Structure 1
Amino acid sequence: MILASAPPTQLILSVLASAAYAWPAVRAAHMGPVSARKWVWAAWALHGAVLSWSLLGDAPRFGFAPALSMTAWLVAAVYAVEAHIFPQLQTRWALCGLGAVAVVLSALFPGHAMASSASGWLPLHLAFGVACYGLFGTAVVHAWFLTRAEHRIRLAEDPHSGLPLLTLERLTFRFVGSGFAVLSATLLVGFVFGEAVYGQAKAWRWDHKTVFSVLSWLTFAVLLLGRRAFGWRSKRAVNMLYVGSVFLLLAYVGSQFVMEVLLRRTP
């Protein structure tokens, strides 16, 4: 960790981005929808600048916190696009709060320096992995919206979801299907080109990251098969999505957190 290990420009951008996320979250009851969207767009742009600086600067770094930060940024991007397609969607203050936390964590734990001699396959593998996290993160957010809307309907309240239940469910599983495809590609690249990506010493092996990645793949495969063959919906499907997402989170973020924070080692 160390805050001092991050460049000053990145720290300034991180403070601005986290403040821009936090302000509409704190002022939710006193801010109109137009003003809130402007703040969220500003936060998203600043967040993107932070990520660009950390990944494209003179000394690119990556680790568990940058991975979470990129996931939060991708989820925010998807939600912003959906808000234009479905204007009835409301600004979600919990997402703003999570975005602020992700930016702060990335500043506190900027990760390890990426070797300049790394294989050209490594950026592709990381891009697949981050895209996978973003897609499943978006699916989890939609599943949460879906659960809240169903709960409100059972209580005979206005669901306030902004979207019909069937639309939310359809969007959730579109993201699950897309995430499963990208996860499959990520595992395939790691298995077939593991030696080229990581070097002979770090080729495909059954470590914690691999085991949790395969467990998540199997969970999502069963979920998609069960939905197609048996029509799984609602609580059962959402719970399986949560389980698979936890396995996926433990695969990279969990293992890197142990390495970087608890054991203080670099890969």
Structure 2
Amino acid sequence: MILPSASTLGWLLALAAAAAYVVSAIAGSRFSSSQARVALMVAWVMHGASIAWGLMGDSPHFGFASALSMTAWLMLVAYLVERQFFPELHALWVLSLLGAAVVLMSALFPGKPLHALSSPWLPLHLTLGIASYGLFAAAVVHAWLMTRAEKNIRQATDSPGGMPLLTLERLTFRFVTAGFVVLTATLIAGWFFGEVLYGRAWIWDHKSVFSVLSWITFAVLLIGRSRFGWRGLSAVRMLYAGAALLLLAYAGSRFVMEVLLARPGG
């Protein structure tokens, strides 16, 4: 099976962004915090240029890898903003390596060509969907740091995230709440305006089913935390389950269609 790949310029942008991310990961442990931040900013800008070229270049494409790339880029936006308020947050090497991986993946698997849009509202709907991906991905990263911090507290060692456990927990569920609001808006738009957006009414396909299942999972998680005080490993596992379902809703299904089945539609 021969897979499409990005253009020459697309590959150059992706390689430059990946190299910048690697430098950023190295800078996080060897240079000052300001130098590491500059390195990450350069990588973030190059990554953004790679995304923009994929969407608006000579041959615009979009697929599962593009969605993951945009998700990682939004996670870095959240991290850069958050570092202004919580400079003790340390997740640079994780996000840098993730950024390098997804930007190269998006060049290797650019997705299907973008044709004329069926509705001028479609970009807004797609933006909401990707934004929910980014917010829940940020929640997952914070949940991972929270779990590591809790483990280190039991072992009487320093937290790898550099932040207090309760602060990490609070930030995790702020991202979950924000992601849930955006995901709700995405589903409402798809339900009421599906025919305008895609030329067809809402249908219960794999994307719809996984999206609704993820929404239910996050709703139960937020209600359980609000009403019953759910926290700790059980809450984190439910967050991971909801994020996995959401990942399957678009990126996972598109991966199967584009790579495993080599079908452009779906």
Common fold by TM > 0.5: yes
Report matched runs for 1:89-238 at 5 Å: 89-200=89-200, 203-238=201-236
Moved over 6 A (4+): none
SS in 2 for 1:116: coil
- Distance in 2, matches of 1:14 and 1:115, equals 23
Could you tell me whether the CA contact under 8 Å between 2:72 and 2:134 is conserved in 1? Answer: yes
- Distance in 2, matches of 1:16 and 1:258, equals 28
Q: Unmatched 5+ residue regions in structure 1?
A: none
Could you tell me whether the CA contact under 8 Å between 1:260 and 1:266 is conserved in 2? Answer: yes
Relative to structure 1, is the Cα distance of residues 117 and 48 closer, same or farther in structure 2, using a 3 angstrom cutoff?
A: closer
- Distance in 1, matches of 2:247 and 2:160, equals 29
Q: CA deviation at 1:265?
A: 1.1
Q: CA deviation at 1:19?
A: 0.6
Relative to structure 1, is the Cα distance of residues 117 and 73 closer, same or farther in structure 2, using a 3 angstrom cutoff?
A: closer
SS in 2 for 1:171: helix
Could you tell me whether the CA contact under 8 Å between 2:27 and 2:35 is conserved in 1? Answer: no
Aligned to 1:240: 238
SS in 2 for 1:159: coil
- Distance in 1, matches of 2:149 and 2:24, equals 23
Q: CA deviation at 1:58?
A: 4.2
Aligned length: 263
Instruction: Output one character per residue of 1:4-57: Cα deviation in whole Å (capped at 9) or x when no partner.
Output: xx2222211111001111223356543343322221111001001111111233
- Distance in 2, matches of 1:68 and 1:244, equals 16
Could you tell me whether the CA contact under 8 Å between 1:129 and 1:183 is conserved in 2? Answer: yes
Aligned to 1:71: 71
Instruction: Output one character per residue of 1:216-258: Cα deviation in whole Å (capped at 9) or x when no partner.
Output: 0000000000000000011111110000000000000011001
- Distance in 1, matches of 2:166 and 2:174, equals 12
Q: Percent identity?
A: 57
Could you tell me whether the CA contact under 8 Å between 1:71 and 1:134 is conserved in 2? Answer: yes
With structure 1 as the length reference, what TM-score do the two structures score? 0.94
Q: CA deviation at 1:118?
A: 2.4
Could you tell me whether the CA contact under 8 Å between 1:54 and 1:61 is conserved in 2? Answer: yes
Letter in 2 for 1:213: S
- Distance in 2, matches of 1:117 and 1:46, equals 27
Letter in 2 for 1:84: Q
Is 1:2 aligned to 2:4, yes or no? yes
- Distance in 2, matches of 1:209 and 1:221, equals 18
- Distance in 2, matches of 1:167 and 1:257, equals 35
Instruction: Output one character per residue of 1:161-213: Cα deviation in whole Å (capped at 9) or x when no partner.
Output: 2222111111111110110011111111111111111113xx31111111111
Could you tell me whether the CA contact under 8 Å between 1:33 and 1:91 is conserved in 2? Answer: no
Could you tell me whether the CA contact under 8 Å between 2:27 and 2:39 is conserved in 1? Answer: no
RMSD across aligned C-alpha pairs, in angstroms? 1.4
SS in 2 for 1:193: helix
- Distance in 2, matches of 1:127 and 1:44, equals 19
Q: Unmatched 5+ residue regions in structure 2?
A: none
- Distance in 2, matches of 1:24 and 1:139, equals 22
- Distance in 1, matches of 2:92 and 2:151, equals 18
Relative to structure 1, is the Cα distance of residues 36 and 117 closer, same or farther in structure 2, using a 3 angstrom cutoff?
A: closer
